Structure 1
Amino acid sequence: MKPVRTLIVSAAFVAIAVGVAIWLYPRLPAQVPVHWDMSGQANRYAPRFWGAAMWPLLIFGLAVLTVALPAISPRRFEIKSFAGIYGALMLVIQGVMLVIGMTALLVGAGFALPLSTIVPLAVGVLLMVLGNYMGKLRKNFFIGIRTPWTLASDTVWERTHRLAGWVFVLAGAAMAITTLAHVMPGWGLVVIVAVLLIPYVYSFFVYRALEGRH
């Protein structure tokens, strides 16, 4: 996606978040729920202003990063070579955060929405989309599996992200299926931990294997 289009979509996401927050603000309680446990029960609250503002601010922050990160990438680690993929992924992340944030605000305002289903389902979709594009990422400091070993070797980067793509897709599918089937309520946390750990550990062993050949 071209940078101008990415900027336009990001601006639209921010505008939607601000508009929904303003619309719901009069209906929000004095203490707005901002965190929920695995069963969907609120366990943390914030004053109404910050409860309404936090999601638009988060979307705005992601939009700023989408523009800023390519501009500050160091030499030989530029994002330009995969700018289209980077822009698409950042928009997907913004979109998922928008869905989660607006759902949270609607629930806080008293709308009966299944937050404990929507959030893990959205995260599962995000993981699948990220996994689909993971193998197309090139070495950089901001997005992807960034370990000392992937950043030290193009080969380790490519192999790690090839594996990470499969892991992300399978983990996202598992999260979506188990969420829709209403089984294993703690599965989401396990999936996220596994997704984070497997490619990181794999990158170390691939690097050591390559290093041992010299």
Structure 2
Amino acid sequence: MRKATAAITGLVLLSFIISIYFYPQVPEQMATHWNSKGEVDGYMSKLWGLFFMPFVIAGLTIMFLVIPRIDPRKENIAKFRNYYDGFIVLLILFMVIVHIQILLWNTGIKISPNAVLPLGIGLLFYYIGILTENAERNWFIGIRTPWTLSSDRVWKRTNRLGGKLFKIAGIAAIFGAFFPELAIYFILVPVIFVAGFTVVYSYIEYQKELKENKRNKENEIGK
């Protein structure tokens, strides 16, 4: 955990250092947003363009590090903390890479976000699959529906299946790098399907558990 915290802190500091380094090299109005075709459609002033992402990274880091301390089921998070810390490192690293892509674009090195994002998001989705498969019941991490939060068995079944589906979604997102103009669909369609499917699946599994419990009680009474 200490190594992960050190790595995360180092990445946050690196994002600020990179911004300071690029300060003399970027224009007063920076391109900061691209549409699905990879065309610039949003700008920020130099100061915001340089430091908005580092502050977002710092804020997310604080939030993710606080979650294991405030979750009512923090003892369950401790059981898969290594996977959770790995996710934070990967997420912050991805955001730093996106930040670098934005800065390079504004210095004339135009690396398309449609090449960077599908690869990065695909890897993130795949790792989320690993994290989800190993997550124990808690209030912040994993596939959380009213039914998974109400039953350990439903939680495990839903998150194990959801983890496998997230891995598939991650692979699909990576393929989006080969079809830049369609990359957004390779990212969004699979993850929307996974989200919707796991909600329905968790409900069905919970109803099965209720019926099974009811049947067991009736059998006990019959005895």
Establish whether TM, by shorter chain, passes 0.5.
yes
Per the TM alignment, residue 198 of structure 1 is displaced from its structure 2 partner at its CA by 2.1
Q: Secondary structure at the match of 2:176?
A: helix
> Unpaired segments of 5 or more residues in structure 2?
215-223
Identity fraction in percent = 30
Q: Secondary structure at the match of 2:149?
A: helix
* Change in 2 beyond 3 A, CA 1:75/1:127: closer
Q: Is the 8 A contact 2:80 2:134 kept in 1?
A: yes
Matched residues, number:
212
Alignment pair present for 1:212 and 2:208: no
The 1:195–1:104 alpha-carbon spacing in structure 2 relative to 1, beyond 3 Å, is farther
Within the candidate set 38, 42, 63, 1:65 is matched to 63
Amino acid at match of 1:123: I
Match of 1:100 among 79, 98, 122: 98
- Runs of 4 or more, structure 1, over 4 Å off, are 75-78
Aligned partner letter, 1:57: F
Counterpart code for 1:16: L
Contact 1:77 1:139 in 2 (8 A): no
Task: Indicate conservation of the 8 Å contact 2:31/2:44, yes or no.
Answer: yes
Give me the whole-angstrom Cα distance separating, in 1, the residues matched to 2:52 and 2:79. Answer: 33
Deviation, 1:25, is 1.8
Cα 1:199–1:108, aligned 2, differ >3 Å: closer, same or farther? farther
* Cα distance between partner residues in 1 of 2:179 and 2:40: 22
- CA radius of gyration, larger in: 2
Structure 2 counterpart SS, 1:139: coil
TM-score by length of 1: 0.90
Matching residue within 20, 38, 43 for 1:45 = 43
Would you say the 8 A contact 1:70–1:78 is kept in 2?
no
Unaligned runs of at least 5 residues, structure 1: none
- TM-score normalised by L of structure 2: 0.87
**Residue by residue, what CA displacement relative to the aligned partner does 1:93-115 show, whole Å, maximum 9, x if unpaired?**
11222222221222133212122
Aligned letter for 1:97? M
Query: Which structure has more helix as a fraction of its residues?
Result: 2
> Following the alignment from structure 1 to structure 2, what is the Cα–Cα distance between the partners of residues 75 and 113?
43
